[in-house]
Amino acid sequence: MQPIDRIEIVTADITTLRVEAIVNAANESLLGGGGVDGAIHRAAGPDLLEHCKTLEGCPTGLAKITPAFALKKQGIQHIIHAVGPVWHGDESQKLGYTLEDTLLASCYHQSLTLANQHACKSLAFPNISTGIYHFPKPRAAKIAFGHILGFLSKHDLPEKIFLCCFNNTDALIIQQAIDTREDWMMNRKRMG
């Protein structure tokens, strides 16, 4: 199967998916927050927060893995807490040329590596940093898709990645990034 056929866009609340691992768009404290972080903590139950208290936070651009606690009953085994960057960047900068681009790419890479090390067959990502952290959505979609595709072309696990969007508008933004990938990926290669 081609790497691109291992990526699927879904519109859903990420806590309702039946996958082996989900990624949380966490903050550096790892002690919960709003948005998808709040939804995951509510669904996983208070044991998740107790466990996270022992982790001593996580720097931006990195990720830590925990059990899924109450979410295990629907088959989710792991939660990967990735800390995306707050967007302070300049959108006129080319893709890949802001610190935020690098940190977001690192989140995807770290999460995929953890899922691979834990032999996860299926993994779902939310649109990291595109909510409260205000990362521009089309830019984030290109980074997410580009890095996931690159990782899958070198690794057999995870077999399947779900890009979980909270609404259809966000799903369309990801779809557009995928549909126009040849243009912007070629430009990126030319830039070296």
First CA to last CA across the chain, in angstroms?
28
Residue among 13, 37, 170, 179 flagged as catalytic: 37
Q: Give the angle 107-180-94 at the CA atoms, nearest 5°.
A: 55
Nearer CB in complex with ligand ADP: 104/187: 104
Number of residues that this document lists for the chain: 192
Kindly list the distances between the CA atom of residue 191 and the CA atoms of 5, 101, 130, 178, in Å, as whole numbers in the listed order. 27, 15, 26, 20
Nearer CB in complex with ligand ADP: 151/166: 166
Which residues would be at the binding site for ligand ADP (CB under 6 A)?
Answer: 13-15, 25, 35-37, 39, 84, 126-133, 164, 166, 170
Q: Is the dihedral of CA 108, 114, 115, 119 positive or negative?
A: positive
Minimum distance, C-beta of residue 53 to ligand ADP, in the bound complex (Å): 20
Nearer CB in complex with ligand ADP: 29/155: 29
Helix spans in the chain (H): 35-44, 46-53, 99-117, 137-152, 168-179, 181-191
Minimum distance, C-beta of residue 47 to ligand ADP, in the bound complex (Å): 19
Q: Is 95 helix (H, G, I), strand (E, B) or coil?
A: coil
Minimum distance, C-beta of residue 105 to ligand ADP, in the bound complex (Å): 14
37 carries an active-site annotation:
yes
Kindly list the distances between the CA atom of residue 11 and the CA atoms of 39, 73, 175, in Å, as whole numbers in the listed order. 15, 21, 12
Nearer CB in complex with ligand ADP: 101/170: 170
Minimum distance, C-beta of residue 55 to ligand ADP, in the bound complex (Å): 18
Which distant-in-sequence residues (6+ apart) come within 8 Å of 51 by Cβ?
Answer: 66, 67, 69
Q: Which residues are catalytic?
A: 37
